[in-house]
């Protein structure tokens, strides 16, 4: 097993922390009999070949070995390994939801990137500064060439993970946690849609709650297919998945029953589920995002449902819910500098009032949530609840 691992010149490749010569030992550790060693290796790989949404030249070389590990008898972290492989493809999936991953656009953007990457200094070259990695080279490139190079790195890694699609389909027959992550992984490969849709349609559930059905349904919608479960399913999370899929496929032609189901979930009828891979399990925010696909006719109802939910959420849930609410309230984006509270329209004032009156919504684990503050500040609003309260008083 992993016989080809030493045939890759890892020392000449880079990841988030410079030369990638630590990668082969980390991959071998994934099949260690020591569970702690396996978890530590997976944690480190989540920080070097994939780092906070970014991938590197070494990433594509590591992927075939990760796929080999995925079904090894010694591996007991299939869901986590599938999560890493999917993260390599998507970064943060909120960037692409609810519409799906525009693979063709990425492929077009990557044209010419191979030569730019080939010219980059590498570990062992006289002009390679390990402390700076290849940042000097990258920073010296025109923006267009940087974009081409990074797109090429992504396409190469994407296609490496894409080679695992047949394996992901096989994993749909495993236990529910693996089924969910395999369905989630399949959702991002539209070029493989026909066979994947057939596999997803035949998923056998051992999950009475319906999370497997919901995840498979959402994946089917992103691949252009209709879900097997229906809006009559007695399981709330399965109905959510069906509604998401139907909104994704039908868009403005989605039926009133689809919209009603999504509105209900947006209002909080289902709590967050850490078993749902999409959007970190924030089913309400995904429902609100899917409503965008059904057209503007339901915007007022969606906004009302989201607004009512804001005071009861915090952390990542608050981030996703408020992000959707801000999109509805500020369709033109950030406010011009100097815009006062009195200059806001009714919908914008209502949102600002709720945010100002909901200090816990700005927190994560009881502490200030920087990403949330940046989200609100990105619309030209004060980036703290206290400052926002003061802003509302300047009538």
pLDDT digits (tens, 9 = 90+) for 316-337: 889 989 999 999 999 999 999 9
Q: Cα dist. 23→60, 85, 86, 107, 156 in Å?
A: 12, 15, 18, 27, 18
List residues bridging with 367 in a β-sheet.
364
| Secondary structure letter of residue 173 according to DSSP | T
pLDDT digits (tens, 9 = 90+) for 1-41: 788 999 999 999 999 998 999 999 999 999 999 999 999 99
Please tell me the predicted confidence (pLDDT) of residue 395: 62
* Predicted local confidence at residue 221, as pLDDT: 98
Q: Which two tokens stand for residue 368?
A: 């200030």
Q: pLDDT of 184-213, one tens digit each?
A: 999 999 999 999 999 999 997 778 999 999
Residue 135 confidence (pLDDT) above 80 = no
Among residues 166, 154, 149, 265, the alpha carbon closest in space to that of 218 is found at 265
Say which residue the tokens 């009603």 belong to: 260
Confidence of residue 180 (pLDDT cuts 50, 70, 90): very high
> Would you call 15 helix, strand, or coil by DSSP?
strand
Give every CB contact of residue 37 below 8 A, 6+ residues apart in sequence.
29
Task: Tell me what pLDDT residue 131 has.
Answer: 62
Q: State the DSSP code for 335.
A: P
Q: Using 50, 70 and 90 to split pLDDT, how confident is the model at 126?
A: confident
Cα(158)–Cα(165) distance, integer angstroms? 11
Quick check: bond before 98 cis, omega within 30? yes
- Scored b (16 or more CB within 10 A) or e, 24-38 reads bebbbbbbeeeeeeb
Q: Nearest-CA neighbor of 180 among 160, 210, 202, 158?
A: 210
* Residue 128 pLDDT greater than 80, yes or no: no
Query: 10 Å Cβ neighbour count for 127?
Result: 9
Q: What is the pLDDT of residue 205?
A: 75
pLDDT-derived band at 74 (thresholds 50, 70, 90) equals confident
This prediction has a pTM of 0.91
Q: What are the tokens at 218? A: 């959402």
Average pLDDT over residues 350-373: 96
Taking residues 167-178, report their average pLDDT: 96
User: pLDDT (tens digit, 9 = 90+) per residue, 76-119?
Assistant: 899 999 999 999 999 999 999 999 999 999 999 999 999 999 99
pLDDT of residue 165: 98
CA distance 105 to 109: 6
Query: What is the C-alpha to C-alpha distance for residues 185 and 53, in angstroms, rounded to an integer?
Result: 16
**Percentage, residues of the chain above pLDDT 90:** 85
Cα–Cα distance, 184 to 368 (Å, whole number): 31
> What pLDDT was estimated at residue 271?
87
Q: Specify the pLDDT at position 62.
A: 98
Residue 258: φ, ψ to 5°: -65, -50
CB contact at 8 A, 357 and 349: no
Position 125 scores a pLDDT of 80
Q: Chain-centre distance of CA 172, in angstroms? A: 20
Answer yes or no: is pLDDT of 134 > 60. no
d(CA 195, CA 167): 12
| Phi–psi pair at 54, nearest 5 degrees | -115, 145
Q: State residue 139's pLDDT score.
A: 86
CA–CA gap between residue 94 and residue 324 (Å, rounded): 11
Sequence-distant (6+) residues with CB within 8 A of 244 are 98, 217, 218, 221, 262, 286, 287, 290
Evaluate if residue 133 carries a pLDDT over 60: no
Measure the CA–CA gap between 248 and 221, rounded to whole angstroms: 6
Report the mean per-residue pLDDT for the chain. 93
So what's the pLDDT on residue 2? 87
249-261 average pLDDT score:
95
CA 359 – CA 296 distance, rounded (Å): 30
């Amino acid at each position: 097993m992993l016989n080809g691992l030493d045939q890759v010149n890892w020392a000449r490749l880079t990841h988030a922390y410079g030369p990638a010569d630590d990668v082969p030992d980390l991959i071998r550790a994934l099949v260690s009999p020591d569970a702690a060693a396996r978890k530590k290796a997976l944690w480190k790989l989540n920080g070097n070949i994939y780092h906070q949404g970014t991938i590197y030249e070494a990433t594509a070389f590591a992927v075939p070995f990760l796929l080999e590990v995925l079904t090894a008898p010694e591996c007991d972290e299939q869901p986590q390994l599938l999560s890493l492989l999917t993260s390599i493809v998507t970064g943060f999936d909120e960037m692409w939801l609810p519409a799906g991953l525009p693979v063709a656009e990425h492929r077009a953007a990557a044209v010419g990137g191979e030569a730019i990457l080939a010219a980059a200094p590498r570990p062992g070259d006289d002009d390679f500064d390990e402390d700076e990695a290849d940042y000097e080279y990258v920073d010296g490139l025109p923006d267009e060439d940087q974009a081409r190079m990074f797109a090429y790195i992504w396409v190469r890694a994407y296609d490496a993970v894409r080679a695992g699609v047949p394996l992901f389909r096989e994993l749909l027959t495993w236990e529910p946690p693996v089924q969910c992550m395999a369905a989630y992984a399949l959702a991002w490969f539209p070029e493989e849609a026909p066979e994947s849709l057939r596999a997803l349609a035949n998923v056998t559930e051992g999950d009475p709650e319906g999370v497997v059905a919901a995840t498979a349904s959402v994946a089917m919608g992103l691949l252009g297919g209709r879900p097997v479960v229906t809006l009559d399913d007695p399981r709330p999370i399965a109905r959510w998945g069906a509604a998401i899929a139907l909104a994704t496929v039908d868009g403005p032609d989605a039926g009133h029953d689809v919209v009603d189901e999504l509105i209900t979930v947006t209002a909080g009828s289902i709590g967050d589920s850490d078993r749902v891979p999409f959007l970190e399990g924030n089913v309400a925010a995904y429902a609100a995002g899917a409503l965008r696909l059904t057209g503007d006719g339901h915007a007022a109802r969606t906004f009302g449902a989201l607004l009512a939910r804001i005071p009861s959420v915090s952390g990542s849930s608050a981030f996703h819910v408020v992000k959707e609410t801000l999109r509805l309230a500020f369709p033109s984006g950030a406010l011009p500098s100097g815009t006062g509270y009195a200059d806001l329209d009714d919908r914008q004032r209502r949102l600002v009032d709720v945010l100002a009156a909901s200090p816990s919504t700005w927190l994560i684990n009881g502490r200030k949530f920087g990403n949330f503050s940046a989200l609100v500040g990105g619309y030209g609003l004060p980036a703290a609840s206290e400052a926002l309260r003061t802003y509302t008083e300047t009538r």
